[in-house]
Structure 1
Amino acid sequence: MLDPLITSKTRIRLLVKFFSNPHTKAYLREIAEEFGESTNSVRVELNRLSEAKLLRSQPDGRTIKYSANEQHPLFPDIRKIISKFLGLDQIAQNIVSKLGEVDRALVIGDYAKGIDSGTIELVIVGESVDMNLLAELTAKAEKLIKRKIQPQVMARAAYEAAREGNAEMFRHPILVYSVEQ
């Protein structure tokens, strides 16, 4: 979807990494290793995005740590585009809103870290969720967004306990639905 608009695959992957979850911070070598690309090709794109002020670069010893520039005027728009690219808007619209008493839905795991692994880990927090309908809607959404969705339903109390007990699992999740929205 973004390929005709942004010709560099590395640039697309960097935008997904940093704009799908603005809490993401990463170093050049870490990104190159994650993407399976040379440090030079990643460096070129990091420099372009930094020069455009879309990314912040902060010296950290002998390395530079990169993160999304949340103060950039285009930040909200790019974030929405990335969300649509990943299909997160479709998940909220086609799955969560039809399930029953859902308090919130969060994306955790690789996608929350900005890694397009092909599998979206979705945590649905609520009571009385129709599991048969969830399976049906998940299958439809997977075809629509061309990604595997791995849903996990949790009661409110179980979610709060898990969030407190497993900080890594719920570190910087992406909120795709909330009754407060």
Structure 2
Amino acid sequence: LITSKTRLRMLIKFFIGASNKGYLNGLATEFNESTNSIRKELNNLSESGYLLKKRKDNKVIYQANKIHPMFKVLQKIVRQHLGIEDIVDTIISRIGKVHKIVLVGDYAKGLDTGTISIIIIGKELDDSYLKNLKLKIRDKIEREVVFELNNEIPKKNIILYQK
């Protein structure tokens, strides 16, 4: 399934958050790839049923097929690849009374930029533990992690945990 860097970037884009959408030229610009390589991967993924395509005006919009039998599996693989599953499990088990964990920033948009931004909503959250956790997570998943506590949640987000 994951045979190229372009395909991996597309899987991250579409399966990190099921509401993420994209079209040929936009994806080519976003990934800094040729439209031909993007078209090839979009065709492969849509012919396999992983992506849905809809015509809107003169564009074809692609989105993850949420009813595909492999949707949940692919979403879990993408989140594990990015280290998000580990982050959520660690936060829930050790930081305090967590009500909500939200992925924001580039990863919520489906972009693998190397910095994962997470907002944690809760009570009695251990800020000092989070600072230590940030370093451990960075070493484990090889990505920067930015934690924000009890901040306003931007429109573009993915809820990773909610109590």
Structure 2 counterpart of 1:176: 160
Q: Find out whether 1:153 has 2:138 as its counterpart.
A: no
Q: Find out whether 1:40 has 2:24 as its counterpart.
A: no
Structure 2 counterpart of 1:79: 75
Aligned partners of 2:97, 2:132: CA distance in 1, in Å? 17
Q: Find out whether 1:20 has 2:16 as its counterpart.
A: yes
Cα deviation digits, residues 79-120 of structure 1 (max 9, x gap): 110110111101012234210111111111110110001000
Structure 2 counterpart of 1:166: none
Counterpart residue type for residue 42 of structure 1: I
Cα deviation digits, residues 122-159 of structure 1 (max 9, x gap): 000011111110100111111111100010001xxxx5
Aligned pairs, how many? 163
Counterpart residue type for residue 18 of structure 1: F
User: What TM-score does the superposition give when structure 2 sets the normalisation length?
Assistant: 0.95
What is the alpha-carbon root mean square deviation over aligned residues? 1.2
Counterpart residue type for residue 175 of structure 1: I
- What is the SS of the residue equivalent to 1:95? helix
Instruction: List alignment gaps of at least 5 residues for structure 1.
Output: 164-168
Aligned partners of 2:128, 2:122: CA distance in 1, in Å? 15
Aligned partners of 1:170, 1:97: CA distance in 2, in Å? 27
Aligned partners of 1:46, 1:131: CA distance in 2, in Å? 42
Runs of 4+ with >3 A deviation: none
